[in-house]
Each structure stands twice: as C-alpha cells, then as structure tokens.
A and B are shown apart, each in its own frame.
Chain A
C-alpha cells in the first residue's frame, strides 16, 4: 500500500516572532479519519494549512509519500495535488455549480469529465443543480458543492477545516455521511479540524487535542473520550473551559 500518511517532526510555525504551533511528532495513518479538536485560535487551522503545503513550516518537516516538505523545500505540484482542503466558508467561483465541481480537474488539465462531475453532484444530493449559478446556493448547498469539488479529485488526503461550523443539523448530518462514505469507499485519509467534540466522536478513528499551539493528547477515539490521560483533555471533553 502507498505510504500516504503525514509524518510530522519538530514542526513549528511562527508569525511575526510569535510561535502559534509546536508539534514535536504526529503521524496521520493511511485511510483513517483523524480529528483535531481544540478551541478557536489554538492552531488547528494552521496545522491544516501546513498539511496542505499552503505555507512552509518555520522549522521541522512534514513527510508525505516519501517526500519531505520543510521551510526550504516546497512540495512538488504533483504531490500537492494529492491533498486538498474544504474550508469552513466555501469559496465558490462565479460560475455554474458544475463548473465549480470540475474546477480542480480543469486545473489538472482534465476538461472532459462531465459525467464524473454529474455523478459526484448526485452523491452530494445536488444532481439537479448542475447548471445553476453557484452564487445562488444556500450555505449548506455551497458547502456540499465545495465537498463535491474535492471529491472528484484523486486524493490521498482530504482536509476539512470546520466544514459544518455554520450549518444546520440537517446539513451537518448530510456532510458527515458524505465524508464517511468517501472514507469507506475510496479509503481517502480524512483530517477533520473541529471544535465540536461530538462530531469528532461520531466520525474519527483517532483524535488529537491542540491547546495554545501545543499538541496536548493524541489517542484512539474511545480512549480519548472515555479515559483521557491529560486532565485538560478530560476537561475539554466535558465542555469545561480549559483555555
């Protein structure tokens, strides 16, 4: 099996002299759903941007498919295209829904994927929206389009940055089902950033807690929620203020 895990070593990210993320060691296994929980501003999204190779780390390395990404060495485009992110607020282009879903493919030079795009739209329940302008969609529909845009790509890892933070319970359920289906069907590695511990419990195989840029605890989902080693993890899971 291809080694598609992220192996993070001595990773730090500093903005204007302030270190916002410090991860000594972290591994994301192939095909798992890995949740990163923590309060707002803890450094979860920063870690996700580094895992998507959108920004270089200040120090340390991220190994992906036997290739090392660090401050000096950018990730080759072909490997960068094996990972994508669905952000909290979907950014759609002022084109049709189908054009948005096929956009990632067009960046890769594939323009003859109408059937694939339509099939993916059917999977996210938007089959009849293909020709509609993307800007006319509701928040939940737009997020499903963003998810479909990622799903059509051949990915090793899909990174989700609070993908359901602004959505109603119905759309939260829909998106969770789509993500779980993708993980089971294609064995795509999912890295889910959320501050919703219940969502992490529902979806993840393993969970990590980040507080103030530090990786506090990393454990299997059952151990994380039922017998956390760290008191701060227990407090966070209970919903107490830990920051």
Chain B
C-alpha cells in the first residue's frame, strides 16, 4: 500500500516524520473510532487529499489556459481514438440493434445473449484478445493484409475500443427500438408507409434511446484504460491518451498532473454529454 512504500528521496526528514504520524493516524480507526482521521487530514507524503485535488484543478486550468502542447496532443488523440471507435461501433451496433428490436428470427435470443455478455465483458480481456490477434505470432499476422492494424498504433486502440463499445450501442439501441409503441408500425403501414418508411419512423421515435446508447458507448471507452494500455502501449507522441497518461503520471508520483488530466477527462465527458443533451433539446426541460 502507498503508506508502506519508501518515501521519495526528495522528501526531507520532517516530512518523513509527518508520514510516520499519518501512518499511525490511519491505523487508529482499527483501535479507536473516536480518533478516526477526517478526509482532509489524510495526507499523501505530507499533502492532504483536498490539497491534491485543488492543486490538480489549478494545474488543469493552467494546462488548458496555456494550451500545453503535450496535453493538447493527448486530448486530441483521446478524442480522435474514442470518436472513431464510437463511429465504427455505431455503424455496426445501431443497425444490429434495430434488426434485433424489429425482427424475429431463429437464433435471435442467442444473438441477444451474446450481446448482453459483450456488454459486461471486461475491457482488459478484450484488449488481451486484440493484442493476441494482432501480435506478430497471432493468427492474423501471416495474412499480412494492409488493413489489419498493427499493435501499438492508434488503429489498434480504435479496434479494441470499437469492440468494447459496440455491444453497448447495439444493446441499448435494441432496447430503445423495442420500447417504441408496438402499434406505431401498424399505424405507419396503415398510413401508406413502406418497409423503409416504417423502420425510419420507429427509429425517429427511438432517437433519444439511440442517442443514450451512443453516450453509453462513448462513456465506456473514453474512460477505458486496460485495453488501450495493452494494445496501444502508452507511447509518447503516438498512443498516449488521457487514461494511460493518468496511470503513468500517478506511477511517477506527479499527482498534480495526474489529477489535472483526470479533471480534463471529466470535463470532456461532461461537455460531450452536454452537447448530446442539447442536440436532443432536452437540456432546458424539467
């Protein structure tokens, strides 16, 4: 645990004493509830948690205000990888969800069972599978096809993220389509709609649910770290995205930067959802 790790050499004698005191303070709850430390009293190498968050916030503002080139590069790559992955997963997931929601065929329930399993599949396992598939000794390597992505590239990260988010997009789209009034199809056909027009009308009625499916897909991959770390490798100026950068900076002990990147990730996620809600015209509703 972090309090058992060696204190960084840059920290002086006073700080080490402080760590000793705080170590005792942390163990105290096991013996005496009355002396439980408050959250603002918990300290990392001499700094309180609240301090750490505040410094992270200030650092995040500074990085954004100064348009730090490294951070801008990481943010742009994160958005590019996640956006492209979401595009691919939507292109496959939305039509599949619509077909599963609108039609009945032999094996449909089996497909849905696979989809539900995919929705709960650990992303890191998907990362591992993609890694094994794309590695030089993997089954795809001998094919030597130009469109098969190479490991440790943004394309490999997009592949993994697309696989992670597509079951979510398809599953939520199916639920949204199935939630549309079943009499709508009959009504549109009665009004003279052909098969395409009927499907479009159902899609239009399910549009908010479909938008939510995309938001869920986006949320699942923008914050994903295991798979992109495996297949991307967190290479600076190449495959480093926000989540992998946070892991790296935390390991380096640069909590200010890690927290700043975390805050930027949160803000990005919030802004994206805000844009989606605004496009639905729902933001100002009750």
Can you list, as one digit per residue, whether each of A181-220 has a CB less than 8 Å from chain B (1) or not (0)? 0000000000000000000000000000000000000000
Residues of B participating in the A interface, judged by any CB pair closer than 8 Å: 181, 183-184, 186-194, 197, 201, 204-205
With both beta carbons as reference points, the residue of chain B lying nearest to A161 in the complex is identified as: B190
**Measured between alpha carbons, how far is A77 from B188 in the docked complex, in Å?**
13
Q: Select the stretch in A5-13, A89-97, A124-132, A228-236 that faces chain B.
A: A89-97
Identify which of B192, B194, B197, B205 contacts A84 (C-beta below 8 A). B192
Identify which of A49, A80, A89, A94 contacts B192 (C-beta below 8 A). A80
A153 engages B192 (CB within 8 Å) = yes
B192 engages A107 (CB within 8 Å) = yes
Please give me the 5 A-B residue pairs with the lowest Cβ-Cβ distance, nearest first: A81-B192, A91-B187, A104-B191, A85-B190, A91-B183
B-chain residues with CB within 8 Å of residue A104 when the two chains form the complex: 191-192
- Beyond A81-B192, A107-B188, list 4 extra A-B contacts (CB 8 Å): A87-B186, A91-B184, A93-B204, A103-B191
A149 engages B191 (CB within 8 Å) = yes
**Measured between alpha carbons, how far is A108 from B192 in the docked complex, in Å?**
8
A to B CB contacts below 8 Å, 27 in the list: A49-B186, A52-B190, A54-B189, A54-B190, A77-B192, A80-B192, A81-B192, A84-B190, A84-B191, A85-B187, A87-B183, A87-B186, A87-B187, A87-B190, A91-B183, A91-B184, A93-B201, A93-B205, A103-B191, A104-B191, A104-B192, A107-B191, A107-B193, A107-B197, A149-B191, A150-B191, A153-B191
- For residues 49 through 106 of chain A, which have their beta carbon under 8 Å from a beta carbon of chain B? 49, 52, 54, 77, 80-81, 84-85, 87, 89, 91, 93-94, 103-104
B-chain residues with CB within 8 Å of residue A84 when the two chains form the complex: 190-192
**Measured between alpha carbons, how far is A107 from B187 in the docked complex, in Å?**
12
With both beta carbons as reference points, the residue of chain B lying nearest to A95 in the complex is identified as: B204
B194 engages A77 (CB within 8 Å) = yes
Chain B binding surface SS class: helix
Q: What is the minimal beta-carbon distance from B48 to any residue of chain A, in angstroms?
A: 50
* Contacts A54-B186, A107-B197 given; does A91 touch B192 at CB 8 Å: no
A-chain residues with CB within 8 Å of residue B183 when the two chains form the complex: 87, 89, 91
**Measured between alpha carbons, how far is A137 from B190 in the docked complex, in Å?**
22
**Measured between alpha carbons, how far is A88 from B136 in the docked complex, in Å?**
64
With both beta carbons as reference points, the residue of chain A lying nearest to B200 in the complex is identified as: A107
With both beta carbons as reference points, the residue of chain A lying nearest to B193 in the complex is identified as: A107
**Measured between alpha carbons, how far is A85 from B194 in the docked complex, in Å?**
15
Cβ-Cβ contact count across A and B, 8 Å cutoff: 42
Can you list, as one digit per residue, whether each of A129-143 has a CB less than 8 Å from chain B (1) or not (0)? 000000000000000
Q: What is the minimal beta-carbon distance from A34 to any residue of chain B, in angstroms?
A: 18
With both beta carbons as reference points, the residue of chain A lying nearest to B184 in the complex is identified as: A91
**Measured between alpha carbons, how far is A27 from B106 in the docked complex, in Å?**
40
B-chain residues with CB within 8 Å of residue A91 when the two chains form the complex: 181, 183-184, 186-187
**Measured between alpha carbons, how far is A140 from B201 in the docked complex, in Å?**
24
With both beta carbons as reference points, the residue of chain B lying nearest to A150 in the complex is identified as: B191
**Measured between alpha carbons, how far is A91 from B188 in the docked complex, in Å?**
9
B-chain residues with CB within 8 Å of residue A108 when the two chains form the complex: 192
**Measured between alpha carbons, how far is A165 from B193 in the docked complex, in Å?**
26
A-chain residues with CB within 8 Å of residue B193 when the two chains form the complex: 107
Q: What is the minimal beta-carbon distance from B279 to any residue of chain A, in angstroms?
A: 15
**Measured between alpha carbons, how far is A85 from B190 in the docked complex, in Å?**
6
**Measured between alpha carbons, how far is A77 from B191 in the docked complex, in Å?**
11
Q: What is the minimal beta-carbon distance from A208 to any residue of chain B, in angstroms?
A: 21
**Measured between alpha carbons, how far is A104 from B193 in the docked complex, in Å?**
8
A-chain residues with CB within 8 Å of residue B191 when the two chains form the complex: 84, 103-104, 107, 149-150, 153
**Measured between alpha carbons, how far is A84 from B189 in the docked complex, in Å?**
9
**Measured between alpha carbons, how far is A136 from B163 in the docked complex, in Å?**
41
**Measured between alpha carbons, how far is A149 from B188 in the docked complex, in Å?**
11
- For residues 22 through 60 of chain A, which have their beta carbon under 8 Å from a beta carbon of chain B? 49, 52, 54
**Measured between alpha carbons, how far is A153 from B195 in the docked complex, in Å?**
19
Q: What is the minimal beta-carbon distance from A45 to any residue of chain B, in angstroms?
A: 11
**Measured between alpha carbons, how far is A108 from B186 in the docked complex, in Å?**
17
**Measured between alpha carbons, how far is A107 from B194 in the docked complex, in Å?**
8
**Measured between alpha carbons, how far is A149 from B186 in the docked complex, in Å?**
15
With both beta carbons as reference points, the residue of chain B lying nearest to A48 in the complex is identified as: B190
B-chain residues with CB within 8 Å of residue A49 when the two chains form the complex: 186
A-chain residues with CB within 8 Å of residue B201 when the two chains form the complex: 93
A-chain residues with CB within 8 Å of residue B188 when the two chains form the complex: 107
With both beta carbons as reference points, the residue of chain B lying nearest to A91 in the complex is identified as: B187
**Measured between alpha carbons, how far is A125 from B217 in the docked complex, in Å?**
46
**Measured between alpha carbons, how far is A103 from B194 in the docked complex, in Å?**
13
A-chain residues with CB within 8 Å of residue B190 when the two chains form the complex: 52, 54, 84-85, 87
A-chain residues with CB within 8 Å of residue B189 when the two chains form the complex: 54
**Measured between alpha carbons, how far is A54 from B191 in the docked complex, in Å?**
10
Q: What is the minimal beta-carbon distance from B202 to any residue of chain A, in angstroms?
A: 10
Q: What is the minimal beta-carbon distance from B205 to any residue of chain A, in angstroms?
A: 6
